[in-house]
Amino acid sequence: MAGYLLRRVLRALSTLLGTTLIVFLLVRVVPADPAVSIAGPKADPETLAAIRKDLGLDQPVIVQYARYLTALAHGDLGKSYVTGRRVVDVIAQRLPATALLGVTSLAFGFLLGLGTGMFTAARRGGSWDLGVLLVTLVGLSLPTFWIGNVLLYVFAHRFHLLPLGGYGTARHLILPALTLGLAEFYFYARFVHTNMGEALSADYVRTARAKGVSPVRIYVRHALRNALIPIVTLLGLDIAGLMSGVVLTETVFNWPGLGRLAVQAVFSLDIPLVAGTVLFSATLVLASNLIVDLLYGVIDPRVQRG
């Protein structure tokens, strides 16, 4: 287990290092002058030159990258050009709102989708299976932002049952969480159904049935456990994606999370804030992948030996 863990950690660290290089280079090719963003378009050349020197932009690229890595190692993502605040502090301020929305929507969508998928997989070909198949196929074809706008029109604008947007109370959470949760439900209901169906038709399940193993034990201990690996993979990626901010949903509902923060940073050309949110999102994805790799070894010990 120690060797398996070490390999996965080294792989994650090397990927993270490559990600920092990509983010650093992308920031350098953006057609925006950091000095102008800080001092304003009417600043004199001497002021702009002093700001560039203070930021280290007059040094070779390799030296700038080394300074960038050193700052990252100390948890420093730079300062926002617009507000002057540390990027770490801005992300930390927005993270709770995104975490609340992500956890709520994922809990609703995943648990409901898992239960629905398991229920229909045991009744393949029946009316329930066909009905859920039709609903999920239609749901998967609908864009999330469209679902959000429809919910806003019906429940907020038309009937005034819920707020149009914002953040602060449980009523503000319902519509954005329902928007994301429905998208998660449609996907997981189909995905769990497919994987459970394949597991239930496998040879080892037929052998277990021939030996007289109870249906519940076959369903939970044998089929579900073998179907968990692809499900856990997608769940890990979903958690990272939701925690790093869902751009369109947060924008539609005026939700003050990381997704909306990234949009604001792009429109204001706040380069450190853009780079910080991208790197934070990439780190979450890598961390979730590492956790998923470790869960593989728990679910199926053969993965460790492989």
User: What is the residue-wise DSSP string for 68-132?
Assistant: HHHHHHTT---B-TTT--BHHHHHHHHHHHHHHHHHHHHHHHHHHHHHHHHHHHTTTTSHHHHHH
Average pLDDT over residues 175-182: 94
Q: Is the dihedral of CA 170, 177, 164, 161 positive or negative?
A: negative
Question: Do 60 and 133 lie in a common domain?
Answer: no
Question: Do 159 and 261 lie in a common domain?
Answer: yes
Average pLDDT over residues 142-171: 92
Average pLDDT over residues 124-138: 86
pLDDT surpassing 80 at residue 235: yes
CB 120 within 8 A of CB 128: yes
Residue 91: its pLDDT value, please? 95
**Is residue 261 assigned to a domain?**
yes
Average pLDDT over residues 192-219: 85
Domain span at residue 11 reads 2-73
Question: Do 153 and 210 lie in a common domain?
Answer: yes
Question: Do 11 and 105 lie in a common domain?
Answer: no
pLDDT surpassing 70 at residue 47: yes
Residue 1: its pLDDT value, please? 62
**Is residue 90 assigned to a domain?**
no
pLDDT surpassing 90 at residue 194: no
**Is residue 84 assigned to a domain?**
no
- We report the CATH number of the domain holding residue 150 as 1.10.3720.10
Question: Do 129 and 240 lie in a common domain?
Answer: yes
Average pLDDT over residues 95-111: 93
Residue 21: its pLDDT value, please? 92
Task: Give the global pTM.
Answer: 0.84
Tell me how many domains the chain contains: 2
C-alpha 102/C-alpha 177 separation (Å) is: 8
Burial (CB < 10 A; 0-12, 13-18, 19+), residue 18, is: exposed
Question: Do 240 and 188 lie in a common domain?
Answer: yes
Question: Do 105 and 205 lie in a common domain?
Answer: yes
C-alpha 71/C-alpha 206 separation (Å) is: 58
Average pLDDT over residues 34-53: 82
Question: Do 117 and 217 lie in a common domain?
Answer: yes
CB 217 within 8 A of CB 128: no
Question: Do 148 and 104 lie in a common domain?
Answer: yes
Question: Do 229 and 267 lie in a common domain?
Answer: yes
Question: Do 116 and 34 lie in a common domain?
Answer: no
Question: Do 62 and 177 lie in a common domain?
Answer: no
